[in-house]
Amino acid sequence: MRVRVSPPARMTSVHDLATPAAVVDIDALEHNLATMATRLPGALLRPHVKAHKSTALADLQRQHGHRHFTCATVREMIGMARAGLGDDLLLANEVVDVERLRELAALQDQAMITVAVDSDVTVDAAAQAGIRHVLIDVNIGLPRCGCAPSDAGRLADAARRRGLVVRGVMGYEGHLMVSDDRAAQRRETLSAMEVLNRTALDVGGDVISAGGTGNHDVHAEHRADTGVTEVQAGSYALMDTYYGTLGLPFRQALSILGTVVSSHEKWAVADVGLKSLGMDHGNPSIAGCKVWFCSDEHITFATEKVESRAASPVRAASPVRAAQPTVGSRVRVIPAHVDPTMAMHEHLWLVRGDEVLDRWPIDLRGW
């Protein structure tokens, strides 16, 4: 069941919120979930909850037909299972901590738990902990986790000898998620999936799991070519400026509400800084403004120049700077990377315009 926490009675407007605050446009969120449910309905999508870390939002994804979920941490897995969202949970990450895995194993009578493995050590950890199901994680181009494709069959056999059920394979072509050349992205995605499909024949099982928000459309439109049974997209629900450059059919739902705390002739400062934003994909953005830089507690920005309306017919309109925001006014900062941004906040405020509708806990954050 979805955890629902209604906002305090006095929290009826975004102007009532303490800042920085993570706010989500409910209409944009609903649009994103409905759009993805049309493109990848039901089990074709395994939403990645690391992108929002909220069981309330995951439950909304389930209401759109997605009952299988991807997680990045043991805590996310446990939280999802305890929230009744454990129909089919995949820990798409390697874990060697047997004690942590035992916490997951203890939930297997109430949730379907599967863990990714890519080495003899991770297979051994899963077996020692009593985990029943695994996927063989295969390196298909991103230099991160995943075994060599040539070793996947051997590893699957080793897992079965330890009593584990090998459900299939997964691979993450994360290096292909964002590309200026969409045709090249499609070609390279299909090439990576050829490797994963060949490996799946060696491994066995019926799951071939891959993909993400940035190339979900390749998988949706070329399912017969990719061979993937499920796509692990997550950022599509809330979005960020990193994925926003791709022209995907998803709207920006998340922003970090800030308060202007200082204003000068050429710049202003709001209380949204490094401790409330994921910065690994670059600076955030503010509509109509140029972000100069972020510091621990602050974002410094300037309003952009606009064309003067008072120009004569024979003289080009001259650029003038729009009025700086006043101290105490609110700004909405759009993060460049949604996943780490969400991990920095305790709850989401659901809004429509400036009206606060609800508050959801970000209850899967932390370790």
Amino acid 9: pLDDT: 57
What's the maximum distance between 2 C-alpha atoms anywhere in the chain? Answer: 84
Summarize pLDDT for 238-261 with one digit per residue, the tens.
999 999 999 999 999 999 999 999
d(CA 170, CA 239): 24
Query: Would you say residue 321 has pLDDT above 80?
Result: no
Query: Would you say residue 8 has pLDDT above 80?
Result: no
Q: Which residues lie closer than 8 Å to 314 by C-beta, 6 or more apart? A: none
Query: Would you say residue 284 has pLDDT above 80?
Result: yes
Query: Would you say residue 319 has pLDDT above 90?
Result: no
Please state, for a pLDDT cut of 70, what percent of the chain lies above it.
93
Amino acid 266: pLDDT: 94
Nearest 5°: phi and psi at 80?
-65, -45
Query: Would you say residue 311 has pLDDT above 90?
Result: no
Could you say which of 3.20.20.10, 3.40.50.2300, 3.10.20.30, 3.40.640.10 is the CATH number of the domain covering 27-237?
Answer: 3.20.20.10
Amino acid 304: pLDDT: 82
pLDDT average, residue stretch 66-73: 98
pLDDT average, residue stretch 70-96: 98
Query: Would you say residue 17 has pLDDT above 90?
Result: yes
Listed range (150-164, 202-216, 228-242, 321-335) with the worst mean pLDDT:
321-335
Nearest 5°: phi and psi at 262?
-155, 140
Amino acid 3: pLDDT: 40
Summarize pLDDT for 40-53 with one digit per residue, the tens.
999 999 999 999 99
Which amino acid is residue 74, in one-letter code? V
Query: Would you say residue 114 has pLDDT above 70?
Result: yes
Amino acid 53: pLDDT: 98
> In the 3-class helix/strand/coil scheme, how is 306-357 assigned residue by residue?
EECCCCCCCCCCCEEECCCCCCCCEEEEECCCHHHHHCCCCEEEEEECCEEE
Amino acid 305: pLDDT: 72
Which band of pLDDT confidence, cut at 50, 70 and 90, is reported for residue 318?
low
Q: Do residues 147 and 186 touch, judged by C-beta distance below 8 A? A: no
Average pLDDT across the chain, whole number: 94
Amino acid 1: pLDDT: 33
pLDDT average, residue stretch 207-211: 98
Q: Exposed, middle or buried by CB within 10 Å (0-12, 13-18, 19+), for 65?
A: middle
Query: Would you say residue 317 has pLDDT above 90?
Result: no
Summarize pLDDT for 182-205 with one digit per residue, the tens.
999 999 999 999 999 999 999 999
